[in-house]
Amino acid sequence: MSENPTPLASSDAGPSASRPSSGAGQRGAGRLYRRRGTLVGVALVVVLTITVITDLPSPASRSTNIASAATVIQQVNSDMSPCVFSVNEAFTIYGDQTRDAVTAADRARVPALLQEDQAACSFTNQSIFSLSDIDVPGSASGKQLANIVNSVTLWATSDALGAIDAIQTLSTDPTNTRALGALVKYKSMLEADRGAAETSLRSIDTMLDAHIVALDLPEVPAPTSSSSAASSSS
């Protein structure tokens, strides 16, 4: 059929040839429009239904969940690395000072070193700030992964900062009672938050029946006061 409709009346058809009345044409068109509207409506429902179905989260495979969990832990370890180094450095400095094993040249560098250590564990450090941008998957293990991120964030921005602040005070006032008490308190909190993160990681291991990447959070050495160090050396 050609694109242009053939005229219903031609010069050969004579006056008896008739067209459908305009009213009939409108009624036919109305029925066509109604049918077309119905079809368009049905099509939209089908498209929307497909869109909704394809957008629904589908259960991830075990291997996918393991890979996602490992990715989160690896990112946590990477973001925490500067603070972990700084905590180890701060406690090493404090231990050396209590044993009187710091040279005069090294002692002059201690304030700047501790200040850098403190900065490495605060939200002003880009690595620590990046912890808030970690994308935790919405899988069954996602809640435990979120718990890990929360625990290590507290480990750095609360516990580590508090411990380093106490060590800063003790570096110039070794017998400061308040600072000594604060160091013991924050060391305990470091261990508690590390333990919470490790517990969540073990839960993920059990849930996925796999050994996920280990957390790089060290066991912090017990703080030693000057008096106890002196007594142990004697």
**CA atoms of 171 and 173, how far apart (whole Å):** 6
Is pLDDT at 20 greater than 80 in this prediction? Answer: no
pLDDT band per the 50, 70, 90 thresholds, residue 138? confident
Q: Is residue 53 in some structural domain?
A: no
Secondary structure string (H, E, C) spanning 187-227: HHHHHHHHHHHHHHHHHHHHHHCCCCCCCCCCCCCCCCCHH
pTM over 0.85: no
pLDDT, one tens digit per residue, over 22-32 is 444 444 444 44
Q: Is residue 219 in some structural domain?
A: no
Q: How many domains does the chain have?
A: 1
> Which residues constitute the domain of residue 117?
62-211
Q: Is residue 111 in some structural domain?
A: yes
Task: Count CB-CB contacts under 10 A for residue 18.
Answer: 9
Q: Which residues does 98 contact at the CB level (< 8 Å), separation at least 6? A: 174, 224, 225, 226, 228, 229
Q: Is residue 183 in some structural domain?
A: yes
Mean pLDDT across 205-224: 88
Q: Is residue 223 in some structural domain?
A: no
Is 156 within 8 Å of 128 (Cβ atoms)? yes
Look-up: residue for tokens 């040279």?
Answer: 103
Comparing 25-34, 130-139, 151-160, 220-229, the range with the smallest average pLDDT is: 25-34
Q: Which of 114 and 26 is assigned the larger pLDDT?
A: 114
Q: Is residue 93 in some structural domain?
A: yes
Task: Look up the CATH number of the domain holding residue 118.
Answer: 1.20.120
Comparing 42-46, 95-99, 138-142, the range with the smallest average pLDDT is: 42-46
Mean pLDDT across 1-7: 47
Q: Which residues does 28 contact at the CB level (< 8 Å), separation at least 6? A: 20
Q: Is residue 73 in some structural domain?
A: yes
Is pLDDT at 119 greater than 90 in this prediction? Answer: yes
**CA atoms of 212 and 163, how far apart (whole Å):** 29
Q: Is residue 134 in some structural domain?
A: yes
Look-up: residue for tokens 């959070």?
Answer: 217
